[in-house]
Amino acid sequence: MIRTACRIRGGPFDHPDPSQRGLIEVREMPDRETKPETIRIKVAYCAICGSEAHGYQAGWVSAMPPNTEPRGFGHEVSGVVVEVGEKATHRGLKVGDRVAANFVHFCGDCDFCQNGQQQFCENFREYSQPGMAEYLTWHEQQFYKLPDNLSLKEGCLVEPTAICVRMCDKMDMKVGRSVLVCGGGPIGLIALQLLSLYGAANLTLVEPIAERRELAKTFGAVHTIDPFHEDVEARCKEITGGKGFDRILDASGAIAMMPTLLKVAKRGGLIIYGAMYPANYEMPLNLATYMYTNELTISGVMIAPYVFPRTIDIMPRLNLKPFVQCVFPLDKAHDAMVMQLTGKYPKVLVECNPGLE
């Protein structure tokens, strides 16, 4: 048995009825034995993903009936290898190696995997053991060795940073293209740094939290917009001389902003809707204007195949300190989630095993 942070009850954390509020407790959960192709790590840190936070706060995680089995969670992890299966030799990992992990295990054999589209893997297997726990056993394919110049705290940010790298790949960036990022959470702020490295022009962040707008300026943002107190469409037209942005990335998931992004895209531009959205939301889209006349390209990003090695190579060039300042012990996983929801810190980490370096 291993100690694991579990969802005991779903629903929003701020529900007026305390009995209906989301609840996380650390429970003893069944461990997994190491198989020939798996690797077992002692988890150092597990960061809280924005999708997990949004899910609880918005009530997308439905209330769990009484006597429902606890559900572990967490997938942005780093740790130290403690056991290697006899056939887990392809990555060259050994006991004592510091690693980051990709929670997705692709089959590698289906038509999509064979066609370079692992994100659509027909045998897609998400992590079968949650990461916010003392130990974790996943397929060796899911682990990547960390370089000496990347700490274990920073290592748990590899997975969300990989999402940002794939977003930049899909944005087909070129030096001098004007870029708008909507949402100053971890994905938006890390993507902002990467886009700055690409040479984005008029790099702009839309974000209601003042501290995050100021942080964005240190990451390369030339302009920031407060959507609560400024006219976003008017400011975007002002910044781009009325032409609109070449590239737009939504990392906010704020549905009130979604139609506006269409209006501030340049003709022939590209928009990535890269956040989590309510399953029942349908965005109005005037095909004659945006797809025919303006020839916009609209896409999204769910997961990040193929980019983990490049992500790890670029991470030492990023400022990751603001994302690793707030750390809770495993026993305080519930408090960590509540803190994440306050927005006081861009990212909240849970330390699953103290003292790992």
| Residue 252 near residue 180, CB atoms below 8 Å | no
Query: What order do you get walking across the sheet with 2-9 strand by strand?
Result: 23-29, 2-9, 71-72
Say whether 334 is catalytic.
Answer: no
294-312 pLDDT, tens digit per residue, is: 999 999 998 999 999 999 9
In this structure, what token pair is assigned to residue 33? 């034995």
Residues 6+ apart with CB under 8 A from 340: 48, 53, 347, 348
* Cα angle for residues 282, 168, 138 (degrees, 5° grid): 85
Active-site hit among 15, 19, 51, 196 = 51
> H or E element: which one contains 128?
none
Distances in Å between the Cα of 166 and the Cα atoms of 123, 169, 247, 312 are 21, 5, 14, 13
pTM: 0.93
Distances in Å between the Cα of 242 and the Cα atoms of 178, 180, 266, 321 are 12, 14, 9, 36
| Residue 152 near residue 356, CB atoms below 8 Å | yes
| Residue 149 near residue 317, CB atoms below 8 Å | no
User: What is 311-349 written as a DSSP string?
Assistant: HHHHGGGS--GGGSSEEEEGGGHHHHHHHHHHTSSS-EE
What per-residue confidence (pLDDT) applies to 52? 74
User: What is 176-231 written as a DSSP string?
Assistant: T-EEEEE--SHHHHHHHHHHHHTT-EEEEEE-S-HHHHHHHHHTT-SEEE-TTTS-
Packed helices 158-171 and 186-197: angle between N→C axes, nearest 10 degrees: 50
Active-site hit among 54, 75, 139, 334 = 54
What per-residue confidence (pLDDT) applies to 125? 67
CA-closest candidate to residue 351, choices 33, 9, 43, 1: 43
| Residue 173 near residue 247, CB atoms below 8 Å | yes
Say whether 19 is catalytic.
Answer: no
CATH classification number, 2-157+320-351, choose in 1.10.260.40, 3.90.180.10, 3.20.20.70, 3.30.465.10? 3.90.180.10
How far apart CA 233 and CA 289 sit, in angstroms, is 17
In this structure, what token pair is assigned to residue 356? 């790992």
What per-residue confidence (pLDDT) applies to 60? 44
Domain boundaries, the chain: 2-157+320-351, 167-300
Task: Quickly tell me which residue has 């990751």 as its tokens.
Answer: 320
Q: Which CATH architecture does the domain made up of 167-300 adopt?
A: 3-Layer(aba) Sandwich (3.40)
**CA 59, chain centre distance (Å):** 19
Strand 265-273 to strand 297-300: parallel, antiparallel, or no bridges (unpaired)?
Answer: parallel
- The DSSP 8-state label assigned to residue 243 in this structure reads S
Q: Which residues of the chain have pLDDT under 50?
A: 59-64
What per-residue confidence (pLDDT) applies to 215? 96
